[in-house]
């Protein structure tokens, strides 16, 4: 699974059109194609000129330009908003972090920053150096949003900008966020940050429709945080941080299926067994927030 680049996220064009409810893809010999040539009104109609297109199987093909016509596509930003709030039915996503494997590679942080238009000083996931006084040793602890089942941040938001989905993910709608920062004050895990300045590459993203699951484009004056890579989950992929880690620190999966997959080894194991056999714990359980991120303790020889 490749890491996310800094460019705006792209889906296959066929899937993009289908999900946004648009029509008008070019039809040649019964095959649905999306025109990928010159801009509308400026295409070369000279017979014999070729244009590249994607067919319904996402293959790049060529056709005579005289047989095709460009179509204009209007993006339905409202669909992206509605999709983000609904989540994936029947799922209950969970993350397990194996602290014994973390070597502070920070590839997880880099992948996350690249995907979510974050400035160098901003983090959705941060790797902290911890010190075990009992054993006199230090270890590293990645700390994302805990996606609590009883999230304080959701309770205090006055405009329903932050909310918990049926699949367990806590998201932010920065189209609704008014920048009051009540959620930042309420979060005991310091998992949220505020966009005090214009986000990274703001000019490049200015015409990209807002995708709540990716939380891009970011917006000055709003709150941002880990989204459990909700956009990747919808495509059946592991989160950016999980895929990018070279040391197998992260497991991710569905609690309802009792299965989690390691991002490095691609090994799928029983969640309940993994937690039970490795003395798992959550952060600050006494607060009653019920985090969906579990930790396996660092094991020292």
Residue-wise pLDDT for 225-275, tens only, equals 999 999 999 999 999 999 999 999 999 999 999 999 999 999 999 999 999
Q: Mean pLDDT across the stretch 47-57?
A: 66
The answer to whether the pTM exceeds 0.75 is no
Are the C-beta atoms of residues 78 and 72 closer than 8 Å to each other?
no
CA dist., res. 201 & res. 7, Å (int): 9
Alpha helices in the chain (DSSP H): 13-19, 77-86, 107-115, 152-156, 182-186, 202-205, 230-234, 240-244, 271-277
DSSP state of 246: S
Q: Who's near 90: CB < 8 A, 6+ residues apart?
A: 256
- In tens, the pLDDT along 142-194 reads 999 999 999 999 999 999 999 999 999 999 999 999 999 999 999 999 999 99
**Alpha carbon distance 69, 135 (integer Å):** 70
**What local confidence, expressed as pLDDT, does residue 11 receive?**
44
CATH of region 78-296, choose from 3.30.70.20, 3.40.50.11740, 3.40.225.10, 3.90.1150.10 = 3.30.70.20
Answer whether 159's CB lies under 8 Å from 202's CB: no
Rounded to 5 degrees, φ, ψ at 236 are 75, 25
Rounded CA Rg of the chain: 22
Q: How far is residue 274 CA from its own chain's centroid?
A: 24
Neighbour tally for 54: CB within 10 Å: 18
Q: Which residues of 22-31 are buried (b: 16+ CB within 10 A; e: fewer)?
A: eeebbeeeee
Chain region(s) in the chain for CATH 3.30.70.20: 78-296
């Amino acid at each position: 699974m490749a890491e996310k680049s800094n460019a705006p996220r792209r889906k296959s064009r066929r899937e993009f059109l289908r999900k946004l409810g648009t029509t008008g893809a070019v039809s040649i010999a019964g095959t649905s194609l999306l025109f990928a040539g010159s801009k509308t009104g400026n295409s070369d109609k000279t017979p014999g000129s070729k244009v590249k297109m994607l067919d319904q199987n996402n293959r790049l093909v060529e056709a005579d330009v005289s047989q095709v016509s460009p179509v204009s596509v209007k993006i339905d930003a409202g669909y992206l908003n509605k999709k983000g709030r609904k989540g994936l039915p029947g799922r209950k996503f969970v993350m397990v972090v194996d602290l014994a494997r973390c070597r502070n590679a920070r590839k997880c942080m880099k992948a996350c920053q690249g995907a979510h238009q974050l400035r160098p000083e901003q983090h959705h996931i941060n790797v902290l150096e911890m010190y075990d006084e009992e054993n006199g040793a230090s270890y590293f602890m990645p700390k994302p949003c805990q996606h609590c089942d009883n999230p304080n941040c959701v309770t205090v938001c006055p405009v329903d900008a932050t909310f918990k989905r049926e699949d367990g993910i806590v998201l932010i709608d920065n189209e609704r966020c008014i920048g009051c920062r009540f959620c930042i004050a309420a979060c005991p895990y310091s998992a949220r940050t505020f966009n005090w300045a214009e986000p990274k590459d703001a000019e490049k993203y200015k015409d990209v429709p807002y995708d709540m699951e990716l939380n891009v484009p970011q917006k000055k004056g709003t709150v941002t945080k880990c989204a459990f890579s909700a956009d990747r989950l919808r495509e059946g992929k592991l989160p950016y941080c999980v895929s990018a880690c070279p040391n197998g620190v992260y497991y991710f999966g569905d609690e309802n299926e009792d299965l989690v997959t390691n991002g490095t080894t691609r090994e799928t194991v029983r969640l309940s067994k993994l937690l039970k056999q490795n003395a798992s714990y959550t952060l600050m359980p006494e607060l009653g927030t019920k985090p969906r991120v579990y930790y396996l303790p660092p094991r020292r020889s």
